[in-house]
Structure 1
Amino acid sequence: MKSFPYTSAFLFFLLGCFATVSEAATFTCNATTTASCQSIINYVSTNASTYRNISSLFQVSVSSILGANNIPTATPSTTTVSAGSIVKIPVPCRCTNGIGRSDSIPIYTVQSGDGLDAIARYKFDLFVNYTEIAAANNISDPNKIDVGQKLWIPLPCSCDLVEENKVVHLAYKVASGNTVEGIAAQFGTNESTLLQLNGISDPKSLKEEQILDVPLQACKSSINETSPDHGLLLPNGTYAITAKSCVKCSCSSSSYILDCSLASTNSSCPVNKCSGNLTLGDTSGTGCNAITCAYSGYTDTSFKILTTSAPNQSSSCKSSAAWPTGPIASAWMKLVVSLHLIFISICFL
């Protein structure tokens, strides 16, 4: 193979002298129950591109990129993405020895004139630095890489619960003027959680180009653990196509309950109906008495889309469900008042 050119090596050396190396983005990942999951990279396109080219760079599907950015499914893959645009990239994540890294992808092929720092900086927006690429690929001398060489780019991610809740971990690169408080507000988390998750003791120590692990609240679902997509987690304002392209599931902050419906009317998508002859996504009843035919996964061997009847799970209905209504409520109230009077009497004895 052709050796890395000396001129490029010299330029790489000069760049290392004058440019600040981004801090290593080590995300804690101790998940034991989930071998792998999906995280998101908050990628900013350095140059004008297309969804197809970005898909090829990160080696994830165009449809998954469209879903992560809540862009209509019919959007052509050749649509232009202007320089400086934020594109959320969903990446498969795996935990190894307490650290999360993108699971075996992306694989980058070294081009003529490439250097590790340039690859990290201009191809992958510094979500990984050249020392991390070198370590992941057992490269002892970062100045010596070969044209055509295949490099695994270990992007930061995590599968861990945060405060005992399932979340989608977002890798976010700190921009000029960012504050911990502002980032927390932007992504719907709190400052203390963000500080603790990233091991930051002083919010004022935040550095530009630092990579933060930002937890995004995920929608709860009825998908059972035997389904191939049981690990599907979606944050607010995103969707995913699942069940062999038959089902579209989306997440909204209005309820944070996964909303799934048929993505295609093709007869090759066999769907179980719910009681009352409800079809996936249909609802019967109103208010807190509403029952929805919810998606609960699919079988892989003999393909079948599974459903389950789910009650209204909004927070207001859960709160009201804690207390019965009607004649039963009256009886409960009488019992509570009687116990309260007995307690007061004992206190004054």
Structure 2
Amino acid sequence: MPHYAALDVSNRETAIHIIDETGATVWRGKRASDPEVLTTTLRRHAPDLVRVGLETGPLTPWLYHTCKALGLPIVCLDARHARAATALQRNKTDARDAETLAQLVRTGWYREARVKSFAAHAVRHLVGARAQLMGVSIDLSNRIRSTLKTFGPMAGKGMGRTFENRVCELIDGRPTIAAIVEPLLAAWRVVRDQVLVRDRQLVAFAREDATCRLLMTCPGVGVIVATSFTAAIEAPEYFRHSRSVGAYLGLTPAQHQSGEVDRSGGITRRGDRLMRTYLFEAAASLLVRVRQESTLQRWGRALVDRMGFKHAAVAVARKLAVVLHAMWRSKTPFQAWPTEMS
């Protein structure tokens, strides 16, 4: 008899629930959150396993790819979609969640989520580590500026080496302020050095990757945007239409329709938040800094006049995502004056 199973994963233990084709429970229990242990348990209690599901989560890439390599028919369920079913439970437990997910897997009432490869995750986490280090660097520099301002000296608007030299000049001969600022400045130097290391790694990756070099022909798109986009999309064939990329990255308007009510609001903000941020920055750069004129820039600047800069930049960010995917799929460099925009 066909069997279906689901895993409710936590850091140490995973709740397992196995059912048959009628929905009756065959076996349930908990095992260590280890791919080999889970695979062995499922094969022992479900010899005719058709499908096993688990939700998206921090451990999902490791469990999914390892279990799949071990021959397990595993699928990844979109957690937001599955939550609609698990939220109906009066008493929420891991065992009940696993049972609900197993029923979803059996009936097919779930939305499958694509799990990126380890290589894509490595690039994504490298970009994320750089972004976090940049945030720490900015926080430290702001704390230094705030401390100096309390006692009168102003660090000014300089960055990098200029900022460091200026701070050193201001604390020279002021031991009270130096005792506070010097540890912060030392930490700032270390973080900045690590940011530069991450930058060199990303530049080296972009130079060796033909797709990144292709995407960087688009104005406003640099190393960070190109590497982030390739990691987020992974392969252009995953999207049948380029315009779907905007929705995947949460750059399309949210819509609510019920009966006679039909309204649209701001963007959905689904998907990769960091990628969405970088696309917005690329769009802002295209509208303000890029000197090379193009159809995309002209279209964006017309939107600025009509709806304001922020709304126009979001629209251009969505268009950039569409254009980058189309370039990648067709392996064609950016065309400033195409005959027809996507």
More strand by share: 1
Structure having greater relative contact order (Cα 8 Å, sep ≥ 6): 1
TM exceeds 0.5? no
Query: TM-score scaled to structure 1, two decimals?
Result: 0.22
Query: TM-score scaled to structure 2, two decimals?
Result: 0.23
More helix by share: 2
